[in-house]
Amino acid sequence: MTLREQIDQLRPQQREVLGLICMGQTAGHHPRTLAALARHGLIVMQERVDAGSRGAFSYVEPDVPVDVHLAYCEWAAEQPELL
């Protein structure tokens, strides 16, 4: 199954979250939605480390691989309701 076919078969909420993550909005998504996208191989959870004035801290956020991002952009371009 191609990436575009996988994207097409997602639930609407999952596609919406994938699109938001593609646009850099990585926070505030339901853990189950993120888990489903990760199971499909459409996102990966990346550990990030930030050094602040009070010391370093780490957190995990979703990231979209480049090939998935391109497939999502191609899929979205074909959706008249998204234009």
* Per-residue pLDDT tens digits of the chain, which is 83 residues long: 899 999 999 999 999 999 999 999 999 999 999 999 999 999 999 998 888 778 888 889 999 999 999 999 999 999 887 65
pLDDT attached to residue 51 = 85
Token pair for residue 26? 């990585």
Question: Across-strand partners of 60?
Answer: 47
pLDDT attached to residue 83 = 52
pLDDT attached to residue 36 = 97
pLDDT attached to residue 12 = 95
Tally the residues of the chain: 83
Question: Can you spell out the DSSP letters for 5-66?
Answer: HHHHTS-HHHHHHHHHHHTT--SS--HHHHHHHHHTTS-EEEEEEEEETTEEEEEEEEE--H
Q: For residues 20 and 12, is the Cβ–Cβ distance under 8 A?
A: no
